[in-house]
Structure 1
Amino acid sequence: MRVAVHILQGVLTVILLYPFVAPARRLSLRQRWSRQLLAIVGMQIEAGGHAVSPGCLLVANHVSWLDIFVINALAPTAFISKAEVRQWPVIGWLAAKNETVFLRRGSRGHARIVNAEIAGLLDAGRNVGVFPEGTTTDGSHVLAFHAALLQPAIEAAHPLQALAISYHQTDGSPSRAPAYDGDISLGECLSNVIAHRRLIARVSAAAPLATTDGVHRRELARQLHESIVHRIGCASAHPAPQPEPMREAEPSY
């Protein structure tokens, strides 16, 4: 019930406040709303590593629907999402009002539009977040990254910053409760989370990785993948992407 009320509060904030406040205030409101949501479900954040740098493409592993709010609680971030999310009731509307960039896969023309939109956000000193695995896991491993999702930052000459996300019990042991993978529904996942009195979301940020030295996006994806695997301490991770031919074209995602 508290989660539902909080979502309603978010809708009212967007309708009643967003049109009348400066962009910086909108970011502050988004960050506060995300922190409050995490508090409602009993999620505590532990941040480590480097500070999140403005104007970076944030590259994170993907475990849960909570990942977005964990990152927003640290640094208000615009996310890249599949276009289908825009059609989801309430959630899709809220996402659109909070600068989500909706990606229509397989369209090179749309890729140019998306790249320009992301570049504009990065140029304005904003953070843009992406989950290059393309799906969620249970948190015990990291899938190979889709390197094409890094292209907008490379074209705009903005750095990439790896964020390693993991969820834990209060005694430090890994928790699978927030995992939103397989056939689990959103309601089941939420029930698993609130069944615990307290959980911890750990976020470890690597130093920003430059994109201006001519390194191919596959190599950048490999470095980011290895950094996240190392910071999570995965016992076994899926292999990082293999190098691809050096010919370049517009990414079709």
Structure 2
Amino acid sequence: MATSGNKLLLAWRMGRVGWHLLSGCTQIALFFGRSTPAQKQRRIQNWSAQLLGVCGMRVQVVGDIAAIPKDTGRFWVSNHVSWLDIFAINAVQPMRFVGKDDIQTWPVIGWLVARSDTIFISRSNRAAALAANDIISNALQAGANIAIFPEGTSTDGHQLKPFKHSLFQAPISAGVPVQALCVRYPLPNGDLNPAPAYHGDISLWQTLVALLQQPQSVAEVHILAALDSTGMSRQQLGASAQSEIAQCLAQCAEQVVPIQAEYAETVTQ
């Protein structure tokens, strides 16, 4: 049962989230049309970091994000726990995401995501998924950072579902590396925080309410190995990425991983 303190915290944060969503809509309407790609990415990064801050969440980066070259396109692959994954990753490295077309129906967030250069794929149309490889490959060759959640659905964060390999053809065709990521939401004792997990019958609203009632929460973004796509099949490349992320989850389950770096920059527009 929620205490009066939790109710006050929830009401305060819910109001701030609503205001921040309105700010995001305003920025897109007023600025995105005349912004360069780099300016758009910077706004997305700042806005994502601020949203997580409003929700009481810190983003911690495990690994050296600064060592990743910025002058070429890269295909980013992550496990999928929550709708918060997109904002946690964007707070560290802004990028274009590939998502299911039903995300566009989400209130407000769907509108924001749709106007952030997201590449949408119909979950029921295999031909559309295959055609998306050409779109992604062209974007990668033009220097874009593209991210996918190859499980195709979200989990509770403890394990991975089998990766879908169809979109791994894009980095092979573009000749760019695959960058593996692992996203976790740990509690102070090292266990996984169940509040952000958006899976099964849990609704987005339920995850948001549970999250906002916590005094503070953490999102870990682990920077894992970069995988060379040269000479690889999409099945081999997908299996290698899955192995990297699964190994990270297993290691984190055994011990609390020390934080090597923390993303702390928050810029108010």
Unaligned runs of 5+ in 2: 1-14, 255-269
Unaligned runs of 5+ in 1: 237-253
Q: Tell me the equivalent position of 2:96.
A: 78
Contact 1:162 1:228 (C-alpha < 8 Å) held by counterparts: yes
Q: Tell me the equivalent position of 2:57.
A: 43
Deviation digits for residues 49-68 of structure 1 (CA, Å, limit 9, x no counterpart): 24255411110000011000
**Equivalent-residue separation in structure 2 for 1:152 and 1:181 (angstroms):** 27
Q: Note if 1:163 corresponds to 2:177.
A: no
* Counterpart mapping for 1:147-162 below 5 A: 147-162=165-180
Choose from 113, 121, 137 the match for 1:103. 121
User: Could you state the TM-score of these two structures normalised by the residue count of structure 2?
Assistant: 0.81
Q: Note if 1:219 corresponds to 2:233.
A: no
Contact 1:81 1:101 (C-alpha < 8 Å) held by counterparts: yes
Choose from 207, 212, 216 the match for 1:198. 216
Contact 1:50 1:207 (C-alpha < 8 Å) held by counterparts: no
Inter-CA distance 179–89: structure 2 relative to 1 (3 Å threshold): closer
**Equivalent-residue separation in structure 1 for 2:177 and 2:212 (angstroms):** 36
**How much does 1:228 deviate?**
0.6
Deviation digits for residues 157-183 of structure 1 (CA, Å, limit 9, x no counterpart): 111111011111234332111100111
**Equivalent-residue separation in structure 2 for 1:170 and 1:53 (angstroms):** 32
Q: Tell me the equivalent position of 1:130.
A: 148
Contact 2:165 2:238 (C-alpha < 8 Å) held by counterparts: yes
* Counterpart mapping for 1:22-37 below 5 A: 22-37=36-51
SS at match of 1:173: coil
The percentage of counterpart residues that share the same residue type is: 39
Structure with higher helix content: 2
Q: Tell me the equivalent position of 2:29.
A: 15
**How much does 1:83 deviate?**
1.8
Contact 1:58 1:129 (C-alpha < 8 Å) held by counterparts: yes
Q: Give the total of aligned pairs.
A: 235
Inter-CA distance 175–53: structure 2 relative to 1 (3 Å threshold): farther
Cα RMSD for the two superposed structures: 1.9
**Equivalent-residue separation in structure 1 for 2:58 and 2:108 (angstroms):** 26
- Please identify runs of 4+ aligned residues in structure 1 that moved more than 6 A: none
**Equivalent-residue separation in structure 2 for 1:181 and 1:53 (angstroms):** 34
Q: Note if 1:173 corresponds to 2:202.
A: no
**Equivalent-residue separation in structure 2 for 1:120 and 1:94 (angstroms):** 23
